[in-house]
Copies of this chain bind each other. A is one copy, B any other.
Amino acid sequence: RRGEMAKSTQLIDNEVFRAYATYTAIVLLKMMLMSLITAYFRMTRKAFANPEDTAAFGKGESAKKYLRTDADVERVRRGHLNDLENIVPFVGIGLLYALSSPELSMALLHFRIFTGARILHTFAYLIPLPQPGRGLSWAVGYAVTFSMAYNVLKKVWLV
């Protein structure tokens, strides 16, 4: 039994899996960064969503005016939601792909392009860059995830 246990955790020694772990950690940390950017803009723009968050700025009516939406805050929040919509499929499908014995070079290509595309997407959203900058970076990440899904389904299809 101990032997079993030791073996089953060795997945982390597989190079494709290590690549998956590296890039998944990077894109998830990048996504988490959006929370800090949102908090930064909420505080500098004084634009909050909850009454209890404005208590530090005074009581009653004087604090109520900070319960508002702000264009910069909303922009970061849209970027964050777009991350969720695109990074969740990458993490899920990428895990299946990493476990489907792809070539390391092909796997690295997928993971690197996706990660680069999502970092570009964040810059394109927050600067903001003129279109089709953001649209293209979104589409590249989308296509990479689609390509991984195709490779997974080709190997495991069991309906």
Contact = CB atoms under 8 A, between A and B. Distances in A.
B134 A52 contact: yes
A102 to B, nearest CB: 10
Contacts of A5: 10, 13-15
A155 B49 CA distance: 39
A49 to B, nearest CB: 6
Nearest to A152: B25
Given A52-B129, A101-B9, A130-B52, A22 B145 contact: no
Given A7-B7, A12-B99, A25-B156, 5 more contacts: A8-B13, A9-B99, A11-B99, A22-B159, A28-B88
Interface of A is mostly: helix
A153 B20 CA distance: 11
A84 B88 contact: yes
Contact of A78 (B19, B29, B49, B78): B49
A109 to B, nearest CB: 13
Contact of A13 (B4, B11, B17): B4
Contact of A7 (B8, B52, B128): B8
